[in-house]
Every structure is written in structure tokens, then in C-alpha cells.
């Protein structure tokens, strides 16, 4: 890339990460799209301190995404309403990983984080996800 190609380029913002996550949701196969349509997507710079404390995470850049809600496998018609399922994406952690890796495009990384969190909504554990998604290799 030429030096002039970088002129005026800023790090991706919250809206950029949100747009990439929405594009990832729009590209899901039909069998997963239905489950994903009612899950809210929220993007913040970093996870709140209280959340990091609850999870026992010291470094806010160590958490790139989180599913908050009741997995579909545990939902009941008897559950009280009013609480939306949310996939949280944390921009600074995602951008930090993107820069550190240097071998993946930002859209691919955001899609990976989004799909990982969506898998939790579907009721998959981290072990279930790791068995089919060898991302770290």
C-alpha cells in the first residue's frame, strides 16, 4: 500500500464494527438467520469494568465479544418477557486482535466473533464451538 493510501484513514469506529456485524447476520444461512433475527447487536469500545470483574478478566482487551441472554436450548414459554438477548462486540479488543494477527481482514474477524457469540445463543458451549472452529490454529 502506498503511503498516500493511508492518508485520512482512521481506525474503525463503533458504527463500522456494528455494520460489519449486521452484514455477518445478513449473510447467515436460513437455518441460523431465523435464530439471529431477534438478537440485538451492541458495540462498545470495551467491556464495562463490572462485567470484566464478574468474568474474572483483568485485561479489557481480552474480551472481544459476549452473549447476554438465555440460550434457545434453555428458553421456556414460562420465562418472563422483556429481556432481549444481546450480542456485545467490543471494538478495541477486536481492533487489537486484528492488528496483532495481521493475517485476517476485519470483516472476517468481526464475523467470527459474532458467529461465536451467536453459537452461545443457540446453546453451544465454548467446547462445542472449539470442536468445529479451530480459529486459533
Total structural domains in the chain? 1
**Is residue 19 one of the residues assigned to a domain?**
yes
**How far apart are alpha carbons 73 and 120 in whole angstroms?**
10
**Is residue 96 one of the residues assigned to a domain?**
yes
Average pLDDT over residues 57-74: 88
DSSP 40-59: EEEEESS--HHHHHHHT---
Query: From residue 82, how far is each of 7, 40, 69, 71, 79 by CA, in Å?
Result: 46, 13, 11, 15, 10
**Is residue 101 one of the residues assigned to a domain?**
yes
- pTM score of the predicted model: 0.85
For residue 96, give its domain range.
11-72+83-132
**Is residue 51 one of the residues assigned to a domain?**
yes
CATH code of the domain in which 87 resides: 3.30.2010.20
**Is residue 55 one of the residues assigned to a domain?**
yes
Contact (Cβ atoms closer than 8 angstroms) between residue 10 and residue 30: no
What pLDDT does 93 receive? 97
**Is residue 4 one of the residues assigned to a domain?**
no
Which cell numbers in the block locate residue 62?
481480552
Q: Which residue has cell 485476517?
A: 104
Kindly report, residue by residue over 87-135, the tens digit of the pLDDT: 999 999 999 999 999 899 999 999 999 988 988 887 777 776 776 665 5
Amino acid at each position: 500500500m502506498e503511503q498516500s493510501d493511508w492518508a485520512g484513514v482512521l481506525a474503525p469506529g463503533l458504527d463500522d464494527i456494528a455494520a460489519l456485524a449486521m452484514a455477518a447476520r445478513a449473510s447467515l444461512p436460513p437455518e441460523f438467520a431465523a435464530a439471529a433475527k431477534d438478537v440485538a447487536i451492541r458495540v462498545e469500545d470495551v467491556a464495562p469494568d463490572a462485567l470484566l470483574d464478574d468474568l474474572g478478566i483483568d485485561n479489557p482487551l481480552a474480551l472481544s465479544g459476549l452473549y447476554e441472554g438465555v440460550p434457545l436450548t434453555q428458553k421456556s414459554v414460562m420465562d418472563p418477557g422483556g429481556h432481549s438477548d444481546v450480542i456485545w462486540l467490543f471494538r478495541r479488543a477486536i481492533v487489537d486482535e486484528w492488528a496483532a494477527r495481521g493475517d485476517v481482514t476485519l470483516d472476517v474477524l468481526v464475523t467470527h466473533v459474532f458467529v461465536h457469540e451467536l453459537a452461545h445463543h443457540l446453546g453451544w458451549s465454548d467446547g462445542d464451538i472449539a470442536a468445529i472452529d479451530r480459529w486459533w490454529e
